[in-house]
Amino acid sequence: VALRFDGGLEDGRLLLLDQTRLPLEEVFLERRRAEEVVADLRRLAVRGAPLVGLAGAYALVLAARECLEGDTGSPRRYFEDLGTRAEEIASARPTAVNLRGAVTGCLRAAWTRKGGPVAVARGLLEAARELEAREVESSHAIARHATAWLGEKRRFLTHCNTGALAAPGLGTALAPIYLLHHRGAAVEVWVGETRPLLQGWRLTAYELARAEVPHRVLAEGAAAGLLRSGAVDAVLVGADRICRNGDFANKVGTYGLAVLAREHGVPLVVAAPTSTLDAATPAGDRIPIEERPDDGGTYLLATAGRPVGAYAPAFDWTPARLVTALVTEHGVVESPDEVRLAPWMADAGLQGGSGGGR
């Protein structure tokens, strides 16, 4: 498990597996202060859209506790402070909508409580635990819906990391792979290494090796030839934000993979919980794309005595027309568009702006 909140409001701590150190070291970070979690989110120690949302929800609990400790006795002042802290947490990672959605959703749920600051803080912990339980359920539901849709397909190409390190439970795009493997199917996974930060190689291969799922890692540049060769039955990816029209943001490289999948007649399946839906963003070109600093921990090697300038967007967006099927915990939408997604979007919208999930 990549994230766990131990204890109650007074003594609770958040344990985070430091994903920047995988696969070489398995180190758990123990966090008692919200600002530590914000720093962990920014430096990608915890990543994966649903997990980022959950870390934000628990960070908000820690922030609420800190606000209680510094409480001046003025509820108004307390709620102002908490609002400021919530905004700091929500803006730690701009591309994935789950973070802001989780923070907003938990605040709305807790706000309805009677009883002032302490009751709201307890309400936030309860809301975070409910979100975690929902995301675990979503992950299993995604696995069931996706495996049903995939039928006899067994050979998958995936990108970045979308397994148990990215989301509570089985993950998102890796969830059906785990379920098929668990049922004894002979799955074969091609793992895009996912430059520049190598989440595919470092995290997905690590997860799949532990679960004993057969896999091979490849450079992104090898994907086109692999797809042409007929070795892939489906491309499976997650999403960091799904717009009202079905366009979606995901790890950089996804858009190119989507074009190549279409070119070679290989279906593209996007798996994500409805907490990733964003009714407020109409289309992909409106999604804020995080750009890593030039060095990005990646292009540090000096060339001719000076560092190499880099273009390092962390995400890209893919138009809905390239999506064969979108799988959420509620089922599958083929060829998603604004009309087909409208019922789910309305639902996500009702649950807390940018979606706290059901």
Residues that bind a second copy (CB under 8 A): 23-24, 190, 192-196, 201-202, 205-206, 209-210, 215-226, 228, 251-257, 259-260, 263, 299, 301-304, 306, 308-313, 316-317
Structural contact between residues 237 and 173, judged by C-beta atoms closer than 8 angstroms: yes
| Shortest Å distance, C-beta 68 to a second copy | 42
Nearest CA-CA partner of 45 in 85, 5, 15: 15
| Shortest Å distance, C-beta 195 to a second copy | 4
Query: Which C-beta is closer to a second copy: that of 54 or that of 205?
Result: 205
Backbone phi, psi, residue 236, to 5°: -115, 120
Task: Kindly report whether the peptide bond that precedes residue 336 is cis, defined as omega within 30 degrees of 0.
Answer: no
Query: Which C-beta is closer to a second copy: that of 82 or that of 189?
Result: 189
- CA 76 vs CA 71, 80, 81, 351: distances in Å: 10, 6, 9, 25
| Shortest Å distance, C-beta 265 to a second copy | 13
326 forms beta bridges with 270, 333
Nearest CA-CA partner of 242 in 292, 190, 266, 277: 277
Query: Which C-beta is closer to a second copy: that of 253 or that of 267?
Result: 253
- φ/ψ bin of 304: left (φ > 0), alpha (ψ from -120 to 50), beta (otherwise): left
| Shortest Å distance, C-beta 23 to a second copy | 5
| Shortest Å distance, C-beta 191 to a second copy | 8
| Shortest Å distance, C-beta 260 to a second copy | 6
What is the widest separation between alpha-carbon atoms in the chain? 68
Query: Which C-beta is closer to a second copy: that of 82 or that of 258?
Result: 258
Three-state DSSP state, 49: helix
Query: Which C-beta is closer to a second copy: that of 239 or that of 252?
Result: 252
Query: Which C-beta is closer to a second copy: that of 137 or that of 294?
Result: 294
What does the block give as tokens for 207?
């997860």
Backbone phi, psi, residue 150, to 5°: -70, -25
Q: Is 240 a catalytic residue?
A: yes
Nearest CA-CA partner of 142 in 107, 177, 114, 117: 177
CA distance 174 to 162: 6
Active-site residue, selected from the candidate residues 240, 247, 278, 316: 240
- CA 297 vs CA 190, 195, 196, 302: distances in Å: 25, 11, 9, 12
Catalytic site positions: 240
